[in-house]
Structure 1
Amino acid sequence: MKVIDLINERIRNNQTPFYSFEYFPPKTEKGVENLYERLDRMSALEPLWIDVTWGAGGSTSKLTLEICHNAQNFCGLETMMHLTCTNISVAEVKQALDQAKASGIQNILALRGDPPRGEAWTPGTEGLTRATDLVKLIRAEYGDYFCIAVAGYPEGHTEATSFEDDVVHLKSKMAAGADLIVTQLFYDTEIYREYVKSVRAAGITCPIIPGVLPIQGYAGFQRMTSLCRTKIPREITDSLEPIKNDDEMVKEYGVQLCMKMCRELIDMGSPGVHFYTLNLEKSTIKTLEGLELLSNDFAEKPLPWASHSQIRKGKRGKEDVRPIFWRNRPKSYIDRTNCWDEFPNGRWTHSNSPAFGELTDYHLHAPAAHKEFERREAFGRELTSVQSVFDAFAKYCAGEIDRLPWSETPLALESNAILTRLVSMNKRGFLTINSQPRVNGAASTDEVHGWGPKGGYVYQKVRKAYLEFFTSPENFSTLQEVLKHHPSISFHAVDRSGKSTSSYNKPSTTAVTWGVFPGREIIQPTVVDSESFLVWKDEAFALWTTQWISLYKAGSQSVQILEQVRDTFYLVNIVDNNFVDGNIFDVVDEVLKASGRAALTESKG
């Protein structure tokens, strides 16, 4: 059924507000499998519809189509498929639409889209240059079969010449045949109010559904709002500051804030709310419970366990008794921890999680580039040698540069203990992009190292026990020989072409951060996961191009130097499992000594 018809029916019958959910295709096979389980559970919330994103440049097109087909036909969810027209031919667009139609999908979110990471956006050669062109094509080829949604930007699209110009573009999409508008996320509801006024003044009368994103963690919130240039009210900033190190409190604040925003949006006349779930469920469910929007059937729990999906679908007999030992069965343990990936959801979320993906996977458009970063003299001046690259990394560690393409903020305070050695490493060609100090039982309230609820203790298999860096083939070859004499240290390494090697015999996961809290199981929020590492590789190497090489004129000496580093260096992570008294910098010293170079300077921290 078409979403616009569902919305209009709800409005006619005063059955508002409604809600809908967005998901993105996970990066790994196991993540996709777990996403289906999550879709099955969240279908019990009865969203009016769900939508599934279409990766930059159509990078997830096959998987997006598969997930949409299964959500529509096996999960019983009215599904809207994202579709972009960047780096895709008219024939490919028609093929995707034909497949959607064959799957019974009648809803498309039409977007211009963005190119894959590392590639520049260029206008299409077949008349598909913006979302308006895509809407026109769908209407011309498929008539009224599809409901077409388009994106709205309450703060203006980052590439628009002005807010007024952005509204003009929106009006052209509606004139081309769009049915409704779903907005990009925001955190100031007054901005949405003024946006609706401007859109209505332009003669646009269709439903405008606001998109909201519950805050899942402080660091992710900071990264996302910075990249998207989202305006954050001072009240939110002041509320987050004192609790930013307690992930549980941040998540709970995110739920309360989302509830407040939803109430205000509904009071403003919004017929519904669209949740950017990040493939997570807990915060969305809590928000809907607080708003009292869930049906009684969902709120009531007749048994101590959730009914199996096959029972709900009538494909399995009634189950009203389980042995007392059910909690100890492995499958039951998995069921009890089906939301484990939500705490906290950092970059190193386990690859099995359906929430494992890129920061931009759920956006209506890619985050804006850091123009202020690109203007920085340290990266704008011409490079004269590979050593110039090493020196730039060292300056970042020393605080002379406040960000790198791989690190969007200055080094954390906890890095002070290893700062001197990090600077030395980088000057010698070990370009560090991730490290953290070892912590052996710090209080969860510790101002530097603490996280999680009060009364707990946190651990990190790191001070001097974990590093991630780029380095030359020569350095890596020597490192491999040195590591033969250090059995407690494990590593993963991969180059840009995908050539990889590891000390592990099979895919593995190593916890590098964990916490122990009263009345809770041990939490392992940060892991080094072999599958995650190989997925991260594509983004890590692409950043050389998009955030650094792109600053210089093609063919220049600077470009040649950076391309040499990008195309030949390895991305490496090493973990010393002897986190109590091991020292990973000793290994680097051995590599330098074997290469005839001076050892690192010992940190005084």
Structure 2
Amino acid sequence: MSKWDPTFLSCTWGAGGSSQERTMAVCATAQVVHGVETLLHLTCTNMEKQSIDEALLKAKETGIQNILALRGDAPRGHEYWTPTENGFTHAVDLVRYIRQHYGDYFCIGVAGYPEGHMDAESKQDDLLHLKEKIDAGADFILTQLFYNVDTFVDWVADCRAFGISVPIVPGIMPIPTYQNFRRMINLCKTQVPDTILQTLDTIKADDQKVKDYGVQLAVDMIKQLHEKHNVCNFHLSTLNLERSTKLILQDLKLISQDATKQLAHSKLLSAPFSTPQDLDRAENWDEFPNGRYGDSRSPAFGEVTYSASQSLPTSEASRKWGYPKTVDNITQLFEKYILGQLDSLPWSEDRLQTETDAIRQALLEINRRGYWTVGSQPSVNGVSSQDPIFGWGPKGGYVYQKAFLEFFVSPHQLDVILKRFDQDPCVTYYAMNRNGDLLTNVMDEEAQNAVTWGVFPGKEIVQPTLIERANFESWNEEAFGLWTEWEQNYAPDTDTAKLLKNVGDAFWLVNVVHNDYQLVDGLFNMMLA
């Protein structure tokens, strides 16, 4: 990306400093090795003062002069962001601290929210807090992503009327895939115009069309902001993937078509990405989905939140999921979701997709037997890529699927079902609990199992869904984190909170694949035997 001569590159900071070493390594490499002006994100949530001091000192030592000062999100497993002893409560405290100890050495940015911060009492209150950050010494504002240009323009006018005169840089996120787009807007509570949602709904089965639409939408938004509202600077969220960003810049005539042809010679580049051809191949990591079961070798793996946070006010959580007090009550919630009587679960923010109709009755019975399913797909053998239910990808192709299930289960039932799986050589499985204990019949830790693939004209075989140990372990951590979030919607001393904690501590998450994709009901018959 340094070949495109960006004004700056920004790098996120994991909640509570969880990605501190990687963030500093990326920023230092960009700044020192490639000479790209770098903006280091820095959060103060659950961060000790000593950690903040170390990060600022390291930044200065490596020549980084730009900080995006953020409050940040709570780390997984924490219900709320919390100020630590001798720490910081809000982003404004971090801005003041940097100015107090480093004077004007750092150029400081802060976050702005065109639709209002989700924790703000009102938009007026949100503007007040933003003004406080500017008065404390912030030099510019970087906004949260948005998809309504008018909302951004009106918000900027409100900022100016409120006395906020620093530069405001709009945040633009190209749509990566339909599912990741839905997860991101749910997580950020972003309002999306109906015209965009309707267009996406008509093309959501074709990953390439979604990506192309996302590029064109970003181009149109940038042109509108620049030509009609004289906005000259933009911040593109890459999600660690450069291809859509490159296409946007090419469409805007900001880089040439061959801007990335030359290989940057650096000692940091090593196998397997050691030739221009390999770099071209790496660029295509994001051509098709990198969702929950993407390829763990992808630079974007794990960067997009697997599921939108379900940490809700108790009133809303109880409205959606009630006050379960027994294991049977939880089973009933899963049953209602399978029947379409419930529009979400903590692990699934949307209703079941149409393809589930083929296995809905089997899923219902499986859940009634205590196997609480959070992921599934039927087997598919060479269906047209234009099929209205199972199709995806470009025209003229054929798609395939292996049947798989993912479910939570009690320790007692786990022993029973794994013995059944071990009797079938076509079955592979992973099982893990909250503590990270693993049971599997896959001996090769690096093994990758393609459970969805497509054959298209003029393309290599495309494998958008891989199941492997690395991505299952990542999802396991997320899945049990969502148990914790659900539990924390209720007061700790309630029967519901105690039940959810006990279940989360005791149950296992299982992923099972039946590798004979020509056997239609093999997996589901095994579950119901």
TM class by shorter chain equals over 0.9
Return the TM-score normalized by structure 2. 0.93
Q: 2:4 is matched with which residue?
A: 45
Deviation at 1:291, TM superposition (A): 0.5
- Partners of 2:327 and 2:213 lie apart in 1 by 46
Q: CA deviation at 1:53?
A: 0.6
1:341 aligns with 2:285: yes
Q: Which residue of 2 aligns with 1:309?
A: 264
Per the alignment, residue 272 of structure 1 pairs with 233
Change (3 A) 1:575 1:472: same
Cα deviation, 1:274-320, whole Å, max 9, x if unaligned, reads: 000111111111111111111xxx5347xxx943321xx6999xxxx
Length-normalised TM-score, structure 1: 0.82
C-alpha displacement of 1:240? 2.2
Per the alignment, do residues 193 and 332 of structure 1 end up closer, same or farther by CA in structure 2, a change over 3 Å counting?
closer
- Preserved CA contact (<8 Å) 1:56 1:115: yes
CA positional deviation for 1:434: 0.3
- One-letter amino acid of the structure 1 residue matched with residue 431 of structure 2: A
- The answer for unaligned runs of 5 or more in structure 1 is 1-41, 317-328, 591-605
d(CA) in 1 for partners of 2:393, 2:313: 35
* SS, match of residue 137 in structure 1: helix
Q: 1:599 aligns to what?
A: none
How much has 1:436 moved relative to structure 2? 0.9
2:59 matched to which residue of 1? 100
Aligned counterpart for 1:565 among listed residues 499, 503, 507:
503
**Counterparts of 2:258 and 2:235, CA distance in 1:** 24
Unaligned runs of 5+ in 2: none
SS in 2 for 1:458: strand
Q: Is the aligned partner of 1:519 residue 2:458?
A: yes
Q: CA deviation at 1:335?
A: 3.7
The one-character-per-residue Cα deviations of 1:88-140 (angstroms, maximum 9, x if unpaired) are 11121111111111111111100011111221223444351100000000111
Q: Are 1:299 and 2:257 matched, yes or no?
A: yes
Q: What SS does the aligned partner of 2:41 have? A: strand
Aligned to 1:137: 97
Cα distance in 2 between the residues matched to 1:542 and 1:405: 10
Aligned residue in 1 for 2:418: 480
Separation in structure 2 between the aligned mates of residue 572 and residue 429 of structure 1, nearest angstrom: 13
Separation in 1, partners of 2:236, 2:292:
21
Q: Does 1:79 align with 2:22?
A: no
Confirm whether residue 283 of structure 1 aligns to residue 227 of structure 2: no
CA distance in 2, matches of 1:260, 1:372: 40
Equivalent of 1:576 in 501, 511, 514: 514
2:464 counterpart letter in structure 1:
P
The 8 Å contact of residues 239 and 304 in structure 2, kept in 1 or not, is answered as no
> Equivalences for 1:453-468 in 2 at 5 Å?
453-462=394-403, 466-468=404-406
- Partner deviation per Cα, 1:32-74 (whole Å, 9 max, x = no partner): xxxxxxxxxx111111111111111221122211221122122
Alignment partner of 1:482: what SS? helix
Is 1:161–2:106 an aligned residue pair?
no
Q: Deviations over 1:494-548 (max 9, x none)?
A: 11011112211122211011111111111100111210111111110010111x2
Counterpart CA distance in 2 for 1:544 and 1:408 is 14
Residue 581 of structure 1 deviates from its aligned partner by: 1.2
* Alignment-mate amino acid for residue 62 of structure 1: E
Shift of 1:420: 1.3
Aligned residue identity for 2:245: T
1:63 aligns with 2:1: no
Matching residue's letter, 2:257: A
Paired residue for 1:443? 384
* Count of residues in Structure 1 that have an aligned counterpart in Structure 2: 520
Q: Which moved more, 1:232-241 or 1:502-511?
A: 232-241
Report if the CA contact (8 A) 2:314-2:489 is conserved.
Answer: no
Could you tell me how far apart the structure 2 residues matched to 1:411 and 1:242 are?
A: 17
* Partner SS, residue 120 of structure 1: coil
CA RMSD of aligned residues (A): 2.3
Q: Give matches, 1:315-354, under 5 Å.
A: 334-342=278-286, 343-354=288-299
1:402 & 1:395 partners in 2: Cα distance? 9
Q: CA deviation at 1:368?
A: 8.1
Structure 1 residues 368 and 153: CA distance shift in structure 2, 3 A: farther
Q: Which residue of 1 aligns with 2:353?
A: 412
Q: Map 1:3-18; keep pairs closer than 5 Å.
A: none
- Give how far 1:261 is off: 0.4
Structure with bigger RCO (C-alpha 8 Å, 6+ apart)? 1
Which residue of 465, 479, 490 corresponds with 1:540? 479
- 1:399-435 Cα distance to aligned partner (Å, 9 max, x none): 1211101011111111111111211111221111000
Match in the other structure for 1:26:
none
Larger Cα-atom Rg = 1
Task: Name the residue aligned to 1:6.
Answer: none
Partners of 2:310 and 2:136 lie apart in 1 by: 27
